[in-house]
Structure 1
């Protein structure tokens, strides 16, 4: 790697951290052959459940150069969203930590936009590219792992050695070379806490997730009714689920985030089970404004509340 690439990488890294990202690394844009084979097997099994979009654009998902023509490098950024250990969110119903505060798509995209502007004006006149935050067919965890930002844990999440797995991932596709990171060694060892803790058996084996059984899928992406086969297994989760991450020792060591936008909204923290059950559509629209919880929609949230509440009387 030449000196220019090293200098550019250092400038981008410093700016990314200055903008508030918690870590950043670079990976060469190339075909993710090993990951593509694993992904194809996962799709063939039907483990993506009703998320049909996951089966589309597989070629682009596993090769950044096909998604954005001319891409040579991918800047991968991480944003910690691990809340303070004392954070409490009500008396019965629970929502995933990633939805506690402002919609992460907006927070990360705003910072990536600023980073792209900086690169164009201060780093490389010829710079061109696009940025993504969970909004395109991008194999983000694979790219992050290849960049050396962590490893894919047995719960299938990216685990950063310092930040844990409660991290948002963003990518910036660029048309010039950078100093690329190297993958780090997987460090789950013999631990199976995530597999043992999953109440629905969604983690069918290490590094294998069946979305058909995953509480996060069933309460967010799933548009149908929830099977009674899962009755009594949701443990109060009405939007997403953090069980396989909460039990991970790497998250016990991680420090809480410092981003005010990701703090638990006071309105969420004050919601009791009575409040949730009595929620009107208009109230939900106000409650979910600017929040990722809007993804499930009012009908989806009320379905989840009915399902969980029916076994928690």
Structure 2
């Protein structure tokens, strides 16, 4: 499904008074009594704790680290700049005619990835709900692309730099397995559902202080929406689909811990946040490394790389591929304070 549809689904279950939009946090101050958030419009909010999920260049994380420095924290590795390594342009098409593109009405989504022979770039296509196709085109940063993409810019179609438009022009006539050209999909995409995005990679060692905690995947992947992604602790490249998954699992684990919270003292929160870090940090670290390796696997050039892909994608037995995938997908935790959802999977989840 497209991300705006997911947002609307989640939003429909939350009372409107609990969602405040267009509040830009400029400072976060904590002490043993609570946390004060100051916003650019002069508004201030006082709370027992703050969860920072405000984007790759998080104000919450920056202010938290600022307050930790007098204590010789965080480690120097956390202060190093993000590794700006990839860029992409992405969007969601309008509703397409299934009589022209039969693949969009199949029971299962036929995901397609196209690799280039010479360039370290790829095109990703996936039919989604509503007879639409989600698409993404991008790759590793090269010297010529740096002016077109900036880690500080997330621009929609109407503001897209000239270099980005040239990128899309280059792939207009690339044929797809759906019976159409890439341009036939891209050119139907509404302006508000196209973004050019800089992708960074990093794992942060420090996730919490006294009453502040961070969560999320940190891709900076602002896909089809003006809302910042939940991205804080581990900046995951999107190649293995792990970024958004880990962001949601982070939130689930933290929520389960908060539901069992016995007090609201600073020590209570510090103990809870340490447990959260222990539960999630190793998985997040592996996701960063795994996504990086998968990205190299997909776009590396040369005879050896081609043969590795041929073996892995064409010659590896289906049962082995399925077994390896099942091992990853069996981690399907649920909220502990709600009735358990029936597990209808052929391979049961680890609980």
Same fold (TM over 0.5): no
Could you say which structure has the higher strand fraction?
A: 2
| Structure with the larger RCO, 1 or 2 (CA within 8 Å, 6+ apart) | 1
Structure exhibiting the larger radius of gyration computed from Cα positions: 2
TM-score of the aligned structures, taking structure 2 as reference length = 0.26
Could you say which structure has the higher helix fraction?
A: 1
TM-score of the aligned structures, taking structure 1 as reference length = 0.28
